[in-house]
Structure 1
Amino acid sequence: MRLITVENMRELERLAFEGGLSYEKMMQNAGTGLAKIIHTKYGRTESKSIIGLVGSGNNGGDVLVALSYLLGHGWKCSALLVKDRVNDPLVNQFISLGGEMTQTDVLDNAKNLHALLDDKAIILDGVIGTGISLPLRQEVAQFLAKIKTHLGGQIIVAVDCPSGIDCDTGEAAPEVLPARLTVCMEAVKAGLLRLPAFSLCGQILVAPIGVPARLAAKKSESFVIDESWVAELLPVRKADGHKKYFGTVVVVGGCTNYLGAPLFAGTGAYRAGAGLVTMAVPRIVQLTTAVNLPECTWFILDDENGVISEDAATLILEPMKSASCLVVGPGIGREETTRRFLSRWLLQQETGKKNNSFGFVPKTESNSKSITAFPPIVMDADALRWLAEQPNWAENKNLRLVVTPHVGEMAVLTELAPEEIQANRERVASEYAQKWGHVVVLKGALTVVAAPTRQIAIVPVANSALAKAGSGDALSGIIAAFIAQGMAPFEAACAGAWIHARAGEKVAEVQGNEYSLLVRELLNMLPQVFAELNKNTA
């Protein structure tokens, strides 16, 4: 589903009009598409009754077209005019087909209004559209407020957006009717993927209005990740594939204070299809967690008091030889010796400390200078804070990164205030993806994935169940598994973020709350998410 600003949507419609698609035809396409979605989703309900709240603009026209279509498919349809539509052929058509039309004077009598709404299964909200600014005009606010006080469990379907939402900023008037379903015309309006608007939209679907795809692509490089997009993108599982064919993920991290983080990343990688996962960790991590993931192979790194030591910078070269993708950072900590390890390994910096390693690969000059390029790296957690300390790190051509910060880590990387980042998530993620030349996954409610090529994708999930320690570690492993199986980093990040979010949603649905999720439960839900995706492609 494409994501578009209100201004760009107007421009898109203008270009389509100049190309021969009339505004009348666009409205006919929009209303018909809206009706088909309603009929598909709710047409089997016992009470196929619907009332449309018909405003004076294009949204109102879409509602009338939709109602006329539904009349021909066995629905009982009514329309409540917010404002008179004088000599409107859509009104005449609706009435001629047997639709019931009511004027707004019914609002003056609470009993009559209750009777009008009470027997309706669905309320179709087409009062005002995407071009409004807040606050609402008094008469519109009063109309919505009266409707809101007489709701009694009806399904509300919003046309393009719930009336009273600023479709650029995501701000919402207090009178907004919370929708169970929002059907956007041609593309999702950008503000709907911001809070509080998102929480008022319910499920978001798109009805095409006939705009040629080549025009739509010119006006929007942003999109909303959905199930069908992810399903089509998943790596093919060849029947004769072996474990090396499906890639090797090496997880580098862990310390005595964060024993579980590498385990979550490794489990995420296996659950997402990696053929082999190697855990490069301090011995204390292996001793305490290996029993929980016996499928892994283990590579023990030199440590000092349970944290990865600088001396491990040579040892890590051995497992890296076979890595299709690296995960660097889960549970790695911020100790000085670990930071020196990262500098020597990833930036090939000499720190002046003598190497005393007794590991598998003795330290030599050729070892430290032989790396010309790394496999792709998914970087998370305290490795990001180390990265922020490195001057000009983005200029290092040996590194191909997917950085996965939450807002706090993004603030450290960019030196922007968390409040500024949160208020401009898509812009900040895209700006720095382009500046750094690496994929950015800005985690949180409505996770943003941005590519250096200006592409922006948003995961349409805002669920507090995912706000748990270890959740991001699991995500890093999922993304790495997809890269290891041959997906491009941006697509892998998009698919991984969506699947991770969907698993969190499903756990919360099963548990009936957003309090109780544990990350291991999220990981154990991944097979069900993949099963759903497989059905989508069957």
Structure 2
Amino acid sequence: MANQREKQHATSLPHSVFTADWVRAAESRAAEQTGTTLYGLMERAGQAAFTLACEQYPQSRRWLVLCGHGNNGGDGYVVARLARTAGLQVTLIAVPGERPLPPEAAQAREAWLETGGEISAPESLWPTGSDLIIDGLLGTGLASAPRAPYEALVEAVNRHHAPVLSLDIPSGLLAETGQAPGSVVRAAHTLTFIALKPGLLTGQARDWVGQLHHSALGLSQWLEKQRVTLERLDAESLTRWLQPRRPCSHKGEHGRLLVVGGDHGFAGAIRMAAESALRSGAGLVRVLTHKENIAPLLTARPELMVQELNDKSLADGEAWADVLVIGPGLGQSEWSKNALAALRKSAKPALWDADALNLLAITPDKRQNRVLTPHPGEAARLLGCRVKEVESDRLLSARKLTECYGGVVVLKGAGTVIADESGELAIADVGNAGMASGGMGDILSGIIGGLLAQKLTPFDAACAGCVVHGHSADLIACRQGTRGLLATDLLPVIAQSVNPELK
């Protein structure tokens, strides 16, 4: 459930994220500088995994440990030894390799054999009654789909009834991107070591990782001194951007936001964007839309100022506003194109979404004071590529978008990526599957626009907005589950998220 995941993240996962390549390169230096060895780190990893397995599955007595021919397998050997020493029944299956095991993994293997443990071949029959599987097959160095015999073992794991604890990363998942090019172990729990890796937080990660845990292996203080280029954002991050208001503040201090969109038949999109901007704390929100939408919007939300979109109201609205949002329900008619062309000339901070992005893909430009919020399909159109290419490396795709279009990019999805042209990167580690429903993007646009109006920088507004959006959905999912969650369900909850001091 979302509440379990959120609580676990809030209490134990760090906010810094490092690439798997960086962790592998820095591991020896970290061990040396902290007075341990690489084998010492492996022992710590195995101990952390054994402790977690016992905490999560205290009744389990028959463990199946799967070890690959690398250091991930070495971690598995340590877990197996500790479990056997504790009196558990352990079956260990190891995959041989063409080259010798890495020294640390070889040492762990010998320690396992010295306890009287045995090693079974990959084609061995699995024992009946195994009630926990430890996945130490493939680690963070994987760059392609698993090959034989790993592929068969991964598929056998997924057919088995026992829960799975994956070491460092579910075997088959790519640590840098979260992509699954082939078979992947579906873990109930994943314990990652030293640092979080991007592939545990975005891409297809949520389908495979299960509940994510982290152990720094005693290197926390060392890691704190390292330069962080990628950040994990969650609900605890909100206090950084959203401080309590000054008691004597007034609506003018909290920003004037102009929201433009709502072609024929799309009044709902512009209403959701505008109301979510109000709920996020914008002082004044004006809507320019089709005349037919005015009465329904004012009836639904009288706090909005709603006018017909025409040349005069657009010029007046742009002059009045501090921040612009264009795109929700905009369409791609001449009416839509004319509105975008007029606002394109504005120097004021802006958020572009939906059909504003599709029109931008046709006539691209680059500017720094703009937030773009594409989903993968819109991102593909902006980059002139396929959706599959966007999703194959979401961090890289977000960077490419900022290079082409400037400003800040919010690449939406499970593990939304926020990037700006200066190189800042973040992953919003909030949200749930219930958000796969119509209108969620309009809500996000309004939240970010409302935060921009409250004078957050574009990057901070994008980060805070994504967290508010996902956290609000998580609060609802905690109460009612994910299926049937509507975009408008978020509207009453947004105010709770943008007031983090109330927690």
Question: Does the pair score TM above 0.5?
Answer: yes
The CA deviation at 1:310 is: 2.7
Equivalent position to 1:213, from 223, 247, 259 = 223
**% identity of equivalent residues:** 27
Q: Does 1:188 align with 2:196?
A: yes
Q: What do residues 490-516 of structure 1 show as CA deviations (whole Å, max 9, x unaligned)?
A: 2321232233234445556655554x3
The CA deviation at 1:444 is: 3.1
Equivalent position to 1:406, from 350, 353, 375 = 375
Q: Which whole-Å CA distance do the structure 2 matches of 1:526 and 1:447 have between them?
A: 18
- Structure 2: 5+ residue runs without aligned partners? 1-14
Q: Which whole-Å CA distance do the structure 1 matches of 2:350 and 2:80 have between them?
A: 52
The CA deviation at 1:49 is: 5.0
Q: Does 1:379 align with 2:352?
A: yes
Corresponding residue for residue 320 of structure 2:
319
TM-score of the pair, normalised by structure 1: 0.75
Q: Which whole-Å CA distance do the structure 2 matches of 1:241 and 1:94 have between them?
A: 68
Corresponding residue for residue 520 of structure 1:
488
Q: Which amino acid aligns with 1:82?
A: I
The CA deviation at 1:60 is: 3.8
The CA deviation at 1:264 is: 0.6
Corresponding residue for residue 474 of structure 1:
443
Q: Which whole-Å CA distance do the structure 2 matches of 1:241 and 1:69 have between them?
A: 61
Corresponding residue for residue 120 of structure 2:
104
Q: What do residues 469-525 of structure 1 show as CA deviations (whole Å, max 9, x unaligned)?
A: 3221100111122333343322321232233234445556655554x3322123344
Task: Classify 1:513/1:3 alpha carbon distance in 2 versus 1 (closer, same or farther; 3 Å).
Answer: same
Task: Classify 1:33/1:234 alpha carbon distance in 2 versus 1 (closer, same or farther; 3 Å).
Answer: farther
Alignment of 1:91-240 (within 5 A): 101=117, 103-104=119-120, 108=124, 113-115=127-129, 117=130, 120=131, 122-132=132-142, 134=144, 136=146, 138-149=148-159, 151-152=160-161, 154-168=162-176, 170-174=179-183, 176-193=184-201, 195-209=203-217, 210=219, 212-213=222-223, 216-217=226-227, 221-228=229-236, 230-238=237-245, 240=247
SS in 1 for 2:267: coil
Corresponding residue for residue 59 of structure 1:
72
Q: Which amino acid aligns with 1:9?
A: V
The CA deviation at 1:178 is: 1.0
Task: Classify 1:453/1:51 alpha carbon distance in 2 versus 1 (closer, same or farther; 3 Å).
Answer: farther
Q: What do residues 124-180 of structure 1 show as CA deviations (whole Å, max 9, x unaligned)?
A: 32233222455545344454455544x33x432211111233434622543x43112
Matched-pair contact (CA < 8 Å) for 1:243–1:276: no
Q: Which whole-Å CA distance do the structure 1 matches of 2:29 and 2:449 have between them?
A: 41
The CA deviation at 1:6 is: 3.4
Task: Classify 1:527/1:498 alpha carbon distance in 2 versus 1 (closer, same or farther; 3 Å).
Answer: same
Task: Classify 1:222/1:50 alpha carbon distance in 2 versus 1 (closer, same or farther; 3 Å).
Answer: farther
SS in 2 for 1:501: helix
The CA deviation at 1:238 is: 3.2
Let me know the Cα RMSD of the aligned residues: 3.9
Q: What do residues 76-105 of structure 1 show as CA deviations (whole Å, max 9, x unaligned)?
A: 655433339999775787899xx9955437
SS in 2 for 1:440: strand
Q: Which whole-Å CA distance do the structure 2 matches of 1:411 and 1:135 have between them?
A: 24
Corresponding residue for residue 258 of structure 1:
266
Task: Classify 1:181/1:233 alpha carbon distance in 2 versus 1 (closer, same or farther; 3 Å).
Answer: farther
Q: Which amino acid aligns with 2:310?
A: S
Corresponding residue for residue 487 of structure 1:
456
State the structure with more CA Rg: 1
Q: Which whole-Å CA distance do the structure 2 matches of 1:128 and 1:293 have between them?
A: 54
Q: What do residues 417-464 of structure 1 show as CA deviations (whole Å, max 9, x unaligned)?
A: 444333343212112213433001122343221111112223356855
Matched-pair contact (CA < 8 Å) for 2:76–2:136: yes
Q: Which whole-Å CA distance do the structure 1 matches of 2:359 and 2:155 have between them?
A: 52
Corresponding residue for residue 11 of structure 1:
25
Equivalent position to 1:433, from 373, 379, 402 = 402
Q: Does 1:394 align with 2:409?
A: no
Equivalent position to 1:459, from 424, 428, 441 = 428
Q: Which amino acid aligns with 1:51?
A: W
Task: Classify 1:464/1:17 alpha carbon distance in 2 versus 1 (closer, same or farther; 3 Å).
Answer: closer
TM-score of the pair, normalised by structure 2: 0.79
Q: Does 1:334 align with 2:320?
A: no
Structure 1: which 4+ aligned runs deviate by more than 6 Å?
Answer: 67-72, 84-89, 91-96
Q: Which whole-Å CA distance do the structure 2 matches of 1:387 and 1:92 have between them?
A: 61
SS in 1 for 2:410: strand
The CA deviation at 1:382 is: 2.3
Deviation larger for 463-472 or 401-410: 463-472
Q: Does 1:496 align with 2:465?
A: yes
Q: Which whole-Å CA distance do the structure 2 matches of 1:480 and 1:525 have between them?
A: 17
- Structure 1: 5+ residue runs without aligned partners? 302-307, 349-372
Corresponding residue for residue 4 of structure 2:
none
SS in 2 for 1:114: coil
Task: Classify 1:309/1:50 alpha carbon distance in 2 versus 1 (closer, same or farther; 3 Å).
Answer: farther
Matched-pair contact (CA < 8 Å) for 1:242–1:275: no
Q: Which amino acid aligns with 1:47?
A: Q
The CA deviation at 1:401 is: 0.7
Q: Which whole-Å CA distance do the structure 1 matches of 2:361 and 2:156 have between them?
A: 53
Task: Classify 1:19/1:431 alpha carbon distance in 2 versus 1 (closer, same or farther; 3 Å).
Answer: farther
Q: Which whole-Å CA distance do the structure 2 matches of 1:100 and 1:528 have between them?
A: 57
Corresponding residue for residue 257 of structure 2:
249
Structure with the bigger RCO (C-alpha within 8 Å, sep 6+) is: 2
